[in-house]
Amino acid sequence: MRAMTFNVLCAGRNEHQWCRRQPLVRDVIKTYMPDFFGIQEAHYGWMKYLAGQLKEFYGFVGVGKDDGKNGGEFSPVFYRKDKFTVLERLDFWLSETPENPGPGWDAAENRTCSGALFESIETGKKIAVFNTHLDHIGEVAQHKGAELILENLKKYDNIKTVLMGDFNVTPDSEIYKIFIDGGFCDARTVADESDDINSFHWFGGSSKMIDFVFVKNIKNVSKVKTATDRPEGRYPSDHYPVVADFE
């Protein structure tokens, strides 16, 4: 199985405008054809484009962060609809009122976590897959948001679980440690083969590792890579996707 997390950048300027990068993002996704992929900063324009371009292969779960419908950015999970069915879906806001749209604590923006419990069409086995985008400014919101995610995913404690996204923190942070202490493993650190290429690069500028695929109850991770593909010699986004292969 393969999971991918990919911050596609909601806007961008000049040659990096989102509408100019759409085919590049699509082509990278089609190159790797993950069973599941989560994208961040995906406003309705991004969602409409990718859902339409990939409709032959993928369905998705997720809602807009501003109204629970199409308003604002999504943090969706796309899934191979020929391989999986959705048993139950879960969307919540990283705030004191997780069932309602709005920012939490000291967050600069509304933030969500979206995903579902899936069942393999072939084997009947279940896997829970979630995607999120932690706030980039509010340290309290990052901390409380991480704790809220763990609390909401407790119902899947006995099920293989993938939690991916742009966490806006590095591996030496306290927020990262919250997920590790909560029973998740960074797929990169337990993989048989991995690289150390940073995921955020700001179109070739500063770089750091802030995008992760966390796994729980999944022991056999064969490979994790930061996908540095540049179709037509161009950057698809200011983040590289992170791709994890596992049993």
CATH number for the domain spanning 165: value is 3.60.10.10
pLDDT (0 to 100) of residue 219: 87
Residue pointed to by tokens 């593909």: 229
Give 190-236 pLDDT, tens digit per residue: 999 999 999 999 998 889 999 999 999 998 999 999 999 999 999 99
Closest by Cα among 116, 106, 80, 59 to 1: 80
pLDDT (0 to 100) of residue 168: 98
Q: What is the extent of the structural domain holding 167?
A: 2-246
pLDDT (0 to 100) of residue 234: 96
Number of domains in the chain: 1
Q: How far is CA 47 from CA 26, 100, 136, 163, in A?
A: 11, 21, 22, 20
Tokens of 176: 């990262």
Q: Assign residue 35 a region (left: φ > 0; alpha: ψ between -120 and 50; beta: otherwise).
A: alpha
Sign of CA dihedral 246, 151, 66, 61: positive
Closest by Cα among 227, 244, 241 to 162: 244
Instruction: Kindly give the parts of the chain with pLDDT less than 70.
Output: none
At position 208, the amino acid (one-letter code) is: K
pLDDT (0 to 100) of residue 206: 81
pLDDT (0 to 100) of residue 122: 97
